[in-house]
Structure 1
Amino acid sequence: MTNSPAPHNPATDGDPGDDDDLMRELGLTARGIALAKAEGRVFLRVTGVIEYAGRRVPYDLVPAQGVLAKPSKWRKMDRDTRGQLLRERAAEDVTAELHGFVGAFVQEMADACDDCDLDATPFLQGLADMQISEPAGMVFDRIRQRLEHAVEREMEEQHAERTRQSINLAEYPASFDVARRMKRKFIALLGPTNSGKTHQAIEALAKAPSGVYLAPLRLLALENYERLQGMEQRGKPLAVSLVTGEERRVVPGATHVASTVEMLDTRTPVEVAVIDEIQMLADRDRGSAWTAAVCGAPAQVVYLVGAPEARRAIEVLAARLECELEVHVLKRKGPLSMEPTAVRKMSNLRRGDAVICFSRREVLMWRDMVTEMGLSVATVYGNLSPEVRRAQAQRFRDGAADVVVGTDAIAMGLNMPIARIVMTTSVKYNGYEEEEIPAALARQIAGRAGRFGVHEEGLVAGYDNETHNVMRSLLHEKPVPLKTTGFAVAPTLEHLYRISSVTNEHGLAKLLKRFVHNIDVPDGFFFPRITEDQFERAAWLDTLELTVAEKFALSLVPISSKVPSLQNAWEKWAKALAHKTVTHLSPHQNPLSYMNLQEVEDSCRLYSAYAWLSYRQPEFFPDIAKAQELSRAASERVDAILQDQNAAARKKQPKKFRR
């Protein structure tokens, strides 16, 4: 007597108990097969055990054709149709094939884990625990992905540990071999603007048999280069070289060098080094250059010149470097006072004033307003080349300009006979948002008033009442000392090579990231730092076929990524270097005489950036002389435009100036 299927009963359609009976009747339950409903599907699950290399690995998986139907469709099927579908999808050859696939996968994973020195058990548990409706192949892929991620994490941890072992920032000072071997003495000359501290340091430098002056700006390097050239030693003029990122005037046999701080030669010992604006140790983007200079200046005597708030930072650095320290605190040579009231009206401006704004647009706007009052103006802002800033400052010194209108670029260098500082605002954009200027900057700007030997006192005023009151408060605010830990250290090419050698990574972005996050920083005294611009550039440079050294140099080119024409030029240079194509420099298609002020300024910056790159990749950027020639021509054109605009504004609406 044969068993016949149970009669169809519509009342039991879709009843779970009916499905269970059907599964048992077909012998599927006994074979380890179950019917499941989840994730909007009705599907089969097959259980079993794989034995391999002493392991027993259970699995609970959906065969390739194990998904039967959506629940709504399954409910509409009669018992016979369901039975037929179950026989087809759960046939013995189907489950046997699945068992074979699982066995092969278990072997694959076990061997892969052994190769990676990982335990396979946590990964293989997913064969029974994952409980999803996707077929077994998708489960296999998910487990493979888990292993890949685990291997990546393991490699990441290994690379991080190797990076940590390869660079210990506590040993950073020892990387400067020459300075480390010398018995160095630090002399700190600290004081406000107009205290004579830089003059005193330069005098000591000029008397030394050899020495180097380290400036925060090309302009200051140039000014003190010329100043040293005019000084004598034993009746003979000093032999002085100028070294900046964009220009080298190297004199054979020179005993003295004026340089930007980033260009410090740490391998050539000298008698005296002067590090100017030492408070720049705290600068967010460039502080690392001052850290390197203090740690690596190869001089028997190192003068640290700057603001009094740097004193404690200098003391802890000297102690860390085991250098003798002598501190001199200087006072301002003439008084600095706030005006009783704000300026309030353009007619209240006077000859000898410096009108301070915080953007190029504002400078040009105020320049036009001042010239319409009948005053001649010298213009100074950061976008101008050092040559133009100096030429404009000279016009003010010579009396050819009555007033200087500028940004806080006048706060560093540019000694001018300013009688009064007039602040148009106390708010500045910091790269992220508008904020009130810090008291240290307010003091440095204000301190430019009342040059010793020219004026009996310096005066400070706000143009409007609010700015006047804010400046009064800022100048009375107690200076905040620099931090005494976390001195910034920027990566060198040697650092990146070390990281690359232990991680086998060659992407600049990854190497920079590892430098910031993975190197050993035992006590936080020195701390790794890179700029956001450099990291963003690195990610783009990694798309090109360039060496680590080439990408590193390109990431540091001093050119603005915010100006499309300059960014396009930089990208063009990078691509040319990747193709090992020589890039020659051609003048702009439009003659300088047809360009507006902004275009000529940008051209000047482009030529300077090319010159900077020429010194580092001369084989592929050979036109350094032409770059410097074009840069000088552009600077002269900018200066001429500024003078023409000044004259035109005065002629447009002439007014007799009243004192």
Structure 2
Amino acid sequence: MAKKKKKLIKYNQTIRKIFGGEGFDEGITRVPLDNLIEMAMILSLKEQHLTKADLVKAFRRVWSNGDTADRALITEYLKSLDTTFKVDKTVSSQEARLEKIDEILSTIDHTPGEAVAIRELFEDVKLKKITPKRIQKSLMKLRNAKKRNSLEEKFDGAFDDDGNFHFFHSFAFKIFDEQFHKILELSCRPFEEEEILTLDEEELGKRLESCKESAIRKREEEIKQFLEIASKPNRYLDIDQKLKAIKRIPENCDFAFVPIPSEYLHEILFNQFEIKDIEVLSDSFRLFKKFEKELFKNPEWKVRYKLLLEVQMRWLYQAIWENEHLPIDEDFEMRRNEVEAQFDAELIALKDALLSEAEGLEMRDEQVETIIANSVIDAISQKEVLEIPYKTLKRINRHFARQIEGLKLKKQREELLARTIRDFKNLFPLAREMGRKLIFHVGPTNSGKTYAAMEKLKEADTGYYLAPLRLLALEGYETLKNSGLEASLITGEEQIIDEEAAHISSTIEMVNFQVDVDVCVIDEVQMIADPDRGWAWANAIIGIPAHTVIMTGSEDALEAVQELAEWLDEELEVVRFERKSPLILNSNSTSLKKLEPSTAIVAFSRRDVLALKEQLSGRYDVSVVYGNLSPEVRREEARRFREGESQILVATDAIAMGLNLPIRTILFARDSKFDGQSRRLLTPSEIRQIAGRAGRYGLHEEGFVGALTGPVLNTITELIDEPSPSIRGPYRVMANFDHIDLIAKIIETQSLSEILGFFVKHMQFDGPFIAANIENMLEIAKMVDLYNLDLKTKYHLACAPLSLGSPYLESVFHRYLISLERQEPIPFNLPEHLPQVAQTSDMLFEAEEMVKEVSLYLWLSYRFSNFFIDTENALEARKILNDFIERSLRQGVFARACKRCGKPLPPNFKFGICQECYRGGRQIRRYIKK
């Protein structure tokens, strides 16, 4: 928001310079009509055909809306005119201007209509610039335009600014026993501009008719020649492809090089020449192909890189239609030989230079090659260009002497570190001493596996429940309390500690490996496959000090649990659970107008959820659940649905894990999701996990699964029963602070980012393990390394729940770091000026971001209580914001609206304007062109 405000201020300042100190509303009145029309075309305004007064009103309305993109276009256009529109105090009154115009017109032959047009044209012209010559010239233009308009209407076409006449004509095509017609655009130049005044309309019409006939004959000859070529056998295009390509010929096609549809062109280039990517320029294609290269002829050091080949668009189209050989492979091979020869020469020169520097030391060629390869491979993999970047070359040379001197010492330290941490299971000595028994409750959703585990937990004298989400940890805590057990709740941002409690409910990342219990329940163990959080489940399975460890999860996690139990040499009992109520797949898609109560619609983005909510709100009471909402709001929305205050639930796949809801029917809005890196189809496991929430046992005798559209239903039907691949190792494990401290001492650094990078890159483990994916933690570590803080403080800060994609939260985090460095207390201010409900989706999103700020503050307050002192304010702020979000979700309107007319757009509509406004804009452009 701050950035947007700065941009708006900047645009206002620029406008005042252009208008001589006046604001936009006053200055726009002095912009000439022609410029206003041109500017309206740029912004696609509906008012393009209206008077100047109407256009002024329209632009004032656009400017007052405060859209930065529109203001940027207006400002850039006015700047491009290279003039200012200052108030000219010497301009005569309107009456004087009209008097002078009428005086000049009295000396010139004209019609009443021409007089009106002249007065309008000169209404903003300075008095001294209104001359007989200018008025006479304007009259000529008006008369010329009138003749052109008459000819355009008579001969069904339009003149452009250069005097060329554009028209459409239907041409017959006959090829491969098929006959069809194509309407093509043609142009000709029937006469010069100055001839319009001297010739009468009849002569002008004859010339235009002759010109059109000539253009048509020429085009018929071009089509004939092209069809002769296209009818011949072709190695690239079959008959159907040729026919479809010809039928798609654009209206203004140049038959010297007929375009080939992109899907056919891609098929030719991708399949026949293994092109990996194509970039389309104005008159050429840039083709990219991947190659593999061994460094120093070592097959273990392979790099993949891209080569670029640019081919002229005209040549490529012609060659394909004329069935010519395309020497693309040969051109790429020539380019490859040149690039690799130059690269090999660079590698050898660098190696010789380093060996020369290491002369007298026991340094083998292989060692130098390894040092070079480690740096060069990383650099090439980032840019996919086969060259040694200058920065990489400097870095290798700069550090080589130090690498040589400390090589043996560094190897000794790395070997010591590897021996210390390699046997990961022995880093948890308390768990190893207990002779644990492992139990795996395996089954689908709604099978009672977690319920049975919680019953065992309640029977134990001491116990631990490890949940994947804060919301589930809270539910676990309440379940224990409702059973009459004293319990504590521990999450990242909330801790309810009962000193007398023998049971703990916790989020899995907050587990304490120093607390031994009789029974520990690890919920949703299939999460061990999660690339970002899976380490928490692996660490818990290996290290939780419990006599009995009960895991719950889906069938695809069974092989992973068995592998870990075998590696730990601990007894494993597998208890299978079956679904308690049948799940029925709908045979037809379901309309939004025919939803039954207790229906949940699953979308996969916040935008789709809010759009669907808006579509349904007129007919149903709707609850919404998506990941960006705080647990408190999600819980309240779930309560409303559970208790019948709302009939329909619209949610992301956040409902797939743990929310116990009385859902009878699950409907999928989409069959794909964006997983943070790419958009992909849902997996069978994800579909079953979501669909399984239908038909809650004890509430519904059966559950139903369907979709909003036929294609999505087909995907769900195809995949829901498809077996999921078993989760297999290696499993990710995470270093705790003791490990971090050990690495810091051995590699002698206090830089947390270097320590974490070393852990990820160099740690090797006995057993099926690799270092955890800690990209987010590494990015935060780079931030905290900028401040003078001790290593333990940095480590805890790097574990904070910070959303790196949020500029707002990153700025808040930096403010916290500055205060921690200065040892200053950090207050928390209550939100101000909140309306009753959010007016826009952006306003709702800002409130959600502020709730995340509260969560971050509370999380840090449990680790740095001396500095984060305003927990009461933070808790009050969370309540205020959650109430605001909850009210907004019940009452707000968040559907995307057309940028022009303001009408709601459909949920999955690709464009920013509706179809009616798009068509209207095209008609206006055609009108102005005429």
TM bucket by the smaller chain? Answer: 0.7 to 0.9
Q: 1 or 2 for the larger relative contact order (CA 8 Å, sep ≥6)?
A: 1
* Contact kept? 2:614, 2:895, Cα under 8 Å: no
Q: Is residue 2:799 matched to residue 1:573? A: no
Shift, 1:359, TM fit: 0.8
Whether the 8 Å contact between 1:164 and 1:518 is mirrored in structure 2 is no
- Residue by residue over 1:511-537, the C-alpha shift from the partner in whole angstroms, topping out at 9 and shown as x without a partner, is 1111011123345x1211132222222
1:300 corresponds in structure 2 to 547
Asked if structure 1 preserves the Cα contact closer than 8 Å seen for 2:837 and 2:887, the reply is: no
Alpha-carbon distance in structure 1 between the residues aligned to 2:738 and 2:793: 13
Q: Give the structure 2 partner of residue 78 of structure 1.
A: none
Give the aligned partner of residue 556 of structure 1: 799
Q: How far is 1:500 from its partner?
A: 1.1
CA distance in 2, matches of 1:592, 1:631: 16
CA contact (8 A) 1:173 1:321 kept: yes
1:438 matches 2:690:
no
Give 2:823's aligned amino acid.
Answer: K
- CA offsets, 1:140-183, max 9 Å, x none? xx999858413235546743652342145542111112211101
For residues 623-634 of structure 1, the aligned pairs below 5 Å read 623-634=870-881
- Distance (Å, rounded) in 2 between the aligned partners of 1:467 and 1:251: 49
Using the alignment, how far apart are the partners of 1:321 and 1:144 within structure 2? 43
Which residue does the alignment assign to 2:157?
none
Query: In 1, distance between residues paired with 2:786 and 2:398?
Result: 28
How far the C-alpha of 1:119 sits from its partner, in A, is 6.2
TM-fit CA distance, 1:576: 2.0
Paired residue for 2:712, among 450, 454, 467? 467
Call closer, same or farther: CA 1:156–1:489 in 2, change over 3 Å: farther
Choose the corresponding residue for 2:649, options 383, 404, 421.
404
Structure 2, unmatched stretches of 5+, are: 1-353, 366-392, 897-902, 905-930
Seen in structure 2, the aligned counterparts of structure 1 residues 143 and 407 have a Cα distance that, compared at 3 Å, is closer
Quick one: distance in 1 between partners of 2:864 and 2:395?
Answer: 45
- The residue number in structure 2 matching 1:517 is 761
For residues 250 and 446 of structure 1, what CA distance do their matches in structure 2 show?
36
Q: What per-residue deviation string (whole Å, max 9, x for no partner) do you get for residues 556-605 of structure 1? A: 21121212211211121122222322211112344475863222211111
For the residue of structure 2 that corresponds to 1:641, the secondary structure is helix
Quick one: which amino acid aligns to residue 503 of structure 1? Answer: I
Mapped pair 1:211 → 2:463: yes
Q: Partner of 2:830 in structure 1? A: 587
**Conservation of the 8 A alpha-carbon contact between 2:820 and 2:867:** yes
Aligned residues: 511
Q: Does 1:335 align with 2:586?
A: no
Change (3 A) 1:371 1:183: same
Quick check: 2:424–2:766 contact (8 Å CA) kept in 1? no
Equivalent pair of 1:163/1:499 in contact (CA under 8 Å): no
Is the 1:546–1:578 Cα contact (8 Å) retained in structure 2?
A: yes
Corresponding position of 1:241: 488
* Letter paired with 2:757: K
For 1:498, the aligned partner's letter is: L
Distance verdict in 2 for CA 1:190–1:121, change over 3 Å: closer
Q: CA deviation at 1:258?
A: 0.7
What residue identity is the alignment partner of 1:573? Answer: Y
**Cα distance, 1:472 vs structure 2:** 1.0
1:280-310 CA-to-partner distances (Å, cap 9, x unmatched) read 1111000000011111111111101111111
- Mapped contact 1:240–1:257 kept (Cα < 8 A): yes
8 A contact 2:471–2:635 mirrored in 1: yes
SS in 1 for 2:521: strand
- In 1: Cα distance, 2:658 partner to 2:363 partner: 66
Q: Does the C-alpha gap of structure 1 residues 475 and 506 become closer, same or farther in structure 2, counting only changes over 3 Å?
A: same
Q: Which amino acid aligns with 2:854?
A: Y
Q: Does 1:533 align with 2:776?
A: yes
Q: Please give the residue correspondences for 1:116-515 in structure 2 after superposition, counting only pairs within 5 Å.
A: 118=361, 146=397, 148-152=399-403, 155=406, 158-159=409-410, 162-168=413-419, 169-231=421-483, 237-343=484-590, 345-372=591-618, 374-483=619-728, 485-515=729-759
> Contact conserved, 2:672 with 2:679, CA < 8 A, in 1?
yes
Partner amino acid, structure 1, of 2:877: L
Query: Is the contact made by 2:837 and 2:884 (CA closer than 8 Å) also made in structure 1?
Result: no
Name the residue aligned to 2:332: none
Which deviations, in whole Å up to 9, do the C-alpha atoms of 1:617-647 show, x marking residues without a partner?
2222222333223223322221122122289
Relative distance call for 1:295 and 1:612 in structure 2 (3 A) is: same
Deviations 1:430-479 (A, max 9, x none): 11111112211111000000111111211111211111011111211112
Distance 1:342 1:153, change over 3 A: farther
1:57-95 per-residue CA deviation (whole Å, 9 max, x = no partner) reads xxxxxxxxxxxxxxxxxxxxxxxxxxxxxxxxxxxxxxx
Q: Secondary structure at the match of 2:666?
A: strand
Q: Secondary structure at the match of 1:279?
A: helix
Using structure 1 for the length normalisation, give the TM-score. Answer: 0.74
* CA positional deviation for 1:323: 1.4
**SS, match of residue 720 in structure 2:** helix
Q: Aligned partners of 1:520, 1:480: CA distance in 2, in Å? A: 26
**Alpha-carbon separation, structure 2, partners of 1:159 and 1:366:** 59
Deviates more, 1:594-603 or 1:332-341: 594-603
Distance 2:831 2:730 in 1: 44
- Normalised to the residue count of structure 2, the TM-score between the two structures is 0.53
Write the letter of the residue equivalent to 1:159.
K
Distance 1:192 1:405 in 2: 23
Contact 1:164 1:519 in 2 (8 A): no
Task: State whether residues 444 and 578 of structure 2, in contact with CA within 8 Å, keep that contact through their aligned partners in structure 1.
Answer: yes
Deviates most, 421-430 or 582-591: 582-591
Contact 2:532 2:774 in 1 (8 A): yes
TM-superposed CA distance for 1:324, in Å, is 1.0
RMSD across aligned positions (CA): 2.7
Q: Structure 1, residues 112-137: CA drift from partner, whole Å, max 9, x if none?
A: 989xx946999xxxxxxxxxxxxxxx
- How far has the Cα of 1:369 moved from its partner? 0.6
Cα 1:633/1:156, change in 2 over 3 Å = farther
1:616 CA drift (Å):
1.2
Rate the CA distance shift 1:298–1:145 in 2: closer, same or farther, 3 A.
closer
Post-superposition shift, 1:276? 0.1
Distance 1:316 1:145 in 2: 42
Q: Secondary structure at the match of 2:440?
A: strand
Aligned to 1:60: none
The secondary structure found in structure 2 opposite 1:476 is coil
CA distance in 1 between partners of 2:705 and 2:889 (Å)? 26
Partner SS for 1:639: helix
Unaligned runs of 5+ in 1: 1-108, 123-141, 232-236, 654-659
**Which piece of structure 1 moves more, 328-337 or 616-625?**
616-625
Q: C-alpha deviations, 1:391-415, integer Å up to 9, x for none? A: 1011111110000000000001111
**Structure 1 residues 274 and 463, CA, compared in 2 at 3 Å: closer, same or farther?**
same
Amino acid at match of 1:414: L
> After TM superposition, which residue ranges in structure 1, 4 or more long, deviate above 6 angstroms?
119-122, 142-145, 646-649
Q: 1:419 touches 1:458 (CA, 8 Å); kept in 2?
A: yes
Contact 1:163 1:519 in 2 (8 A): no
User: 1:438 & 1:479 partners in 2: Cα distance?
Assistant: 8
Q: Determine helix, strand or coil for the equivalent of 2:706.
A: strand
